[in-house]
Amino acid sequence: MTRAEKAERIGKILADLYPMPPIPLRHDDPYTLLVAVVLSAQCTDARVNVVTPRLFARARTPDAMAALAVRDIERIVRPCGLGPAKARNIRALSRILVEEHGGRVPASFEQLEALPGVGHKTASVVMVQAFGQPAFPVDTHIHRLAARWGLSSGRSVEQTERDLKKLFPPAAWGAAHLQIIYFGREHCPARGHDPAACPICAWAAPRRRPARERPKRRPPRERSARRRAAVR
């Protein structure tokens, strides 16, 4: 089975399980989504959704957020982890939005990625979920599953994004991103996973040779002795 055939079959399974996958981060507009995604770095969506209502009760626009002190933002976002850095970035990007973009979130990868604390993955989430532009955000979970299913080499997140974009049509990128996330949480966890019981891994995971068929590595001392003998 080719990668393209495998991706088509996986896409159908995901579409059947999650026909209209919801955006996991609660937000009201591009700005609140941007802030929520910044907070989600190394933090669960569930935790972010607990924190953001308190934060947006204090400031839900770039103008209001830029007027807050960093320490006030940090007190609220601390449960998300990396509080000091995230608070500085949220205030700094809010100020830039006010001063350079008229208080609006730009619908541009280049301009988004120029904001403090905003990388390519964060920009991709905002572009596809806030503006409906084709983008395929790839986080560590999607990166892991793409490699597990044989859709990408898994060499890097960047390579995985390129591979997935080739395999899925642009119109499906946004939904596929969310569908893979939900599937990973519910059916394909990183640990304690039973591939045989997984609706996708059961047939898509690349076959590995049994351990008894793999060539045995010689112990380090034996290899060293052989090298010395060869030199002599």
Q: Is 72 a catalytic residue?
A: no
Q: Is 28 a catalytic residue?
A: no
Per-residue HEC secondary structure of the chain comes to CCHHHHHHHHHHHHHHHCCCCCCCCCCCCHHHHHHHHHHCCCCCHHHHHHHHHHHHHHCCCHHHHHHCCHHHHHHHHHHHCCHHHHHHHHHHHHHHHHHHHCCCCCCCHHHHHCCCCCCHHHHHHHHHHHCCCCCCCCCHHHHHHHHHCCCCCCCCHHHHHHHHHHHCCHHHHHHHHHHHHHHHHHCCCCCCCCHHHCCCHHHHCCCCCCHHHCCCCCCHHHHHHHHHHHHC
**Which listed residue (29, 121, 165, 194) is catalytic?**
121
**Which listed residue (29, 45, 86, 139) is catalytic?**
139
Q: Catalytic residue numbers?
A: 121, 139
